[in-house]
Structure 1
Amino acid sequence: MTAPFYELDWRTMSQQDLDLGLNNGVAVPASADIVAGWDSRSAELRARYSGHLDLRYGPRERNRIDFLKCTDGAPTLLFIHGGYWQTRAKETFAVFAGGPMAHGINVALIGYTLAPDATLDEIVAEIHRGLDFLAAQLPDLGGDPDRIVASGWSAGGHLTSMALSHPSVKAGMAISGIYDLEPIRHSYLNVKLGLDEAVSRRNSPMMQSGGALKPLSLVVGSAELPLLRKQTADFAGHRAKYGLPLTYEEIPGANHFSIMDELMSPTGRITTLVRQLFERS
């Protein structure tokens, strides 16, 4: 009988089992085709909202933000892409602006330098620098600088949790994120990331005492890898322990990729949670 996901201990796993336990591409064989679909639909949406693309917030090539505007004076959802901090790009994820934009929410998609060209400390700093830029530019772009919610998927879920401390961020929507980096440090993923224990600890929300006193919604798919389900459940417990505002739920039947359908759709569960965060903040 397989142990429940919440009883898993990555420290007792073999190297092979740990690596496979974090490998979403192997777990979802159709993932390459799914992402290719995201790419094509995102290109169409970027072409439709091409007025404020690739706004430069820093000196490095990927230090750019796409601002997709649907409504003057509206709040903004900042979306941070995933890829275990070492793959993918903001351009792939524009399609997920469709759900929030259907409700009058502007969406900004942020790029960042990937490992190994940047350390995790540097990646987190870039997200904060991008938020500085976005908050300063929103009045000219036609958005409300006082209503920014950070969001992200996978590694972007981790970066969302790290962005909550930014003064311009009012709330967070973290999807299938990583909140304890120690399993990552001991896995195949660390070849490019180069985490040592100190970097892992200071960038692991699960290892911090407390956290930002701002609403955070945590979601993960019920069909995701057990280690990822445990990451989200454990982080929800961590925030509850410190009395920090949160919601936590599993999306029934969703894997690491299909869960994003719930943000793409105007009636998707994650889109609804995003709307609720704006209502609360």
Structure 2
Amino acid sequence: MSYWSDWDDEKIERHFNPRVAAPTAGDHLADFTERAAQTRQRYDMRRNISYGDHPREVYDLFPGVIGGPMHIFIHGGYWRALSKDEHSFVAPPFNAAGATVVMMNYPLCPEVTLGELVSATMRGIAHAAVRADSYGASPDRIHVSGHSAGAHLAAVAASRDWTGDKLPADLIRSATLLSGIFDPRVAMRTSINAEIGLDQSQAEQNNILTDRFRPLPHVEILLAAGGAEPDGWIRQSTDYREMFDVTRAVMLPEGANHFTLLDHVADPRADLCRAMLKLMA
């Protein structure tokens, strides 16, 4: 029985709907959009490299130094909203450290099922990884990070045996899981599911908090959530840590909510960003 199973609807909404927990969400997202556009104007980058047939199966590329690592960032939005285009502002500190940064996009629910969304994202990661050499990055130094629903997708990547994609099993060197929603079953209890369209089968098949999604032994895992986020949401990360014996403590930047956590990712002076950069070193 999950810790949230006997919670009433009001408590579920308060803990698992980030826009309820952070009423200023709209302001943060508007700020993200502006900063992301400014980043794309200032940095050398390639937009909308296609990895599939769906119009959202694209990624942006910020080239790094020759032979440097590749850092793949996966955006959030509860599997049903947002895109890479609001998140370009997280790329600069990793690009400045020499990484080729890939900003991943994917199709959204309910146009596709969660399982189809997961499969598309894994295809996108494989597409970028296969081309790491041609992009100037080292194919042996590939790292992923994801925020919110993107953390769920990064956790899938951390557990995946990539030999089926004709890539090394140990493709992913590290995964940073930022304020992840790992158990989709709880999303079915929120009002947001009217937009996601999850059913019980899809939620159970894509529940990260099962042994099927245990990260591969070589993958370094870093977990973080906003220090001001509701306990129920933070516990998604602490439960992941306990279930999979992650040695690092969950980082909880003081005062950060679900959205401003990304400010700590984008700031090279912040402890969270520095921890992520250390994983790439």
Q: TM-score, normalised by structure 1?
A: 0.90
Residue 215 in structure 1 maps to residue 226 in structure 2: no
Per mean C-alpha deviation after superposition, the further-off stretch among 69-78 and 190-199 is 190-199
Q: CA deviation at 1:114?
A: 0.7
Distance 1:211 1:138 in 2: 22
SS class of match (1:54): strand
- Residues 257 and 57 of structure 1: is their aligned pair in 2 closer, same or farther, counting only changes over 3 Å? same
**Which consecutive residues of structure 1, in runs of 5 or more, have no partner in the other structure?**
1-7
Supply the distance in 1 between the matched residues of 2:14 and 2:144 (Cα, whole angstroms). 29
- Displacement, 1:202? 2.1
What is the CA distance between 1:245 and its match in structure 2? 5.7
Partner of 2:225, secondary structure, is strand
User: Is 2:232 the counterpart of 1:227?
Assistant: yes
Q: What is the aligned counterpart of 2:259 among 257, 262, 271?
A: 257
Counting matched residue pairs gives 269
Amino acid at match of 1:217: L
Contact 1:102 1:266 in 2 (8 A): no
> Secondary structure of the equivalent of 2:142?
strand
Q: Distance in 2 between matches of 1:141 and 1:95?
A: 20
Q: Deviations over 1:50-92 (max 9, x none)?
A: 5421100000011001011132221011000001000111011
- 2:130 matched to 1:122? no
Report if aligned partners of 2:74, 2:104 keep a CA contact under 8 Å in 1: yes
% identical aligned pairs: 28
Aligned partners of 2:68, 2:275: CA distance in 1, in Å? 17
Root-mean-square deviation over aligned CA pairs: 1.7
Alignment counterpart, residue 84 of structure 2, candidates 80, 90, 93: 90
Aligned to 1:41: 35
Inter-CA distance 197–207: structure 2 relative to 1 (3 Å threshold): farther
Greater shift, 231-240 or 267-276, is seen at: 267-276
Structure 2 partner of 1:274: 276
| Stretches of 4+ aligned residues off by more than 4 angstroms | 244-247
Whether the 8 Å contact between 1:215 and 1:246 is mirrored in structure 2 is: no
Of residues 158, 171, 174, the one that matches 1:171 is 174
Q: Distance in 1 between matches of 2:127 and 2:181?
A: 26
Q: Which amino acid aligns with 2:119?
A: A
Write the mapping of 1:7-22 to structure 2, written as runs, cut at 5 A. 9-22=3-16
Equivalent-residue separation in structure 1 for 2:277 and 2:48 (angstroms): 26
Return the alpha-carbon distance in structure 2 between the equivalents of residues 191 and 102 of structure 1: 40
Alignment-derived partner of residue 4 in structure 1: none
Aligned CA distance change for structure 1 residues 139 and 35 (closer, same or farther; 3 Å): same
- Specify the code of the residue in structure 2 equivalent to 1:179: F
Normalised by the size of structure 2, how large is the TM-score?
0.90
- State the distance in 2 between where 1:42 and 1:110 align: 14
2:96 & 2:24 partners in 1: Cα distance?
Answer: 28
Distance 2:65 2:176 in 1: 21
C-alpha displacement at 1:229, in angstroms? 0.7
- For the Cα contact (< 8 Å) 2:150–2:180, is it kept in 1? yes
Is contact 1:239-1:246 (8 Å) kept? no
CA 1:179 to 1:51, structure 2 compared with 1: closer, same or farther past 3 Å?
closer
Three-state SS of the structure 2 residue aligned to 1:275 is helix
Q: Give distance in 2, aligned partners of 1:265 and 1:99.
A: 7
Residue of 195, 204, 208 corresponding to 1:205: 208
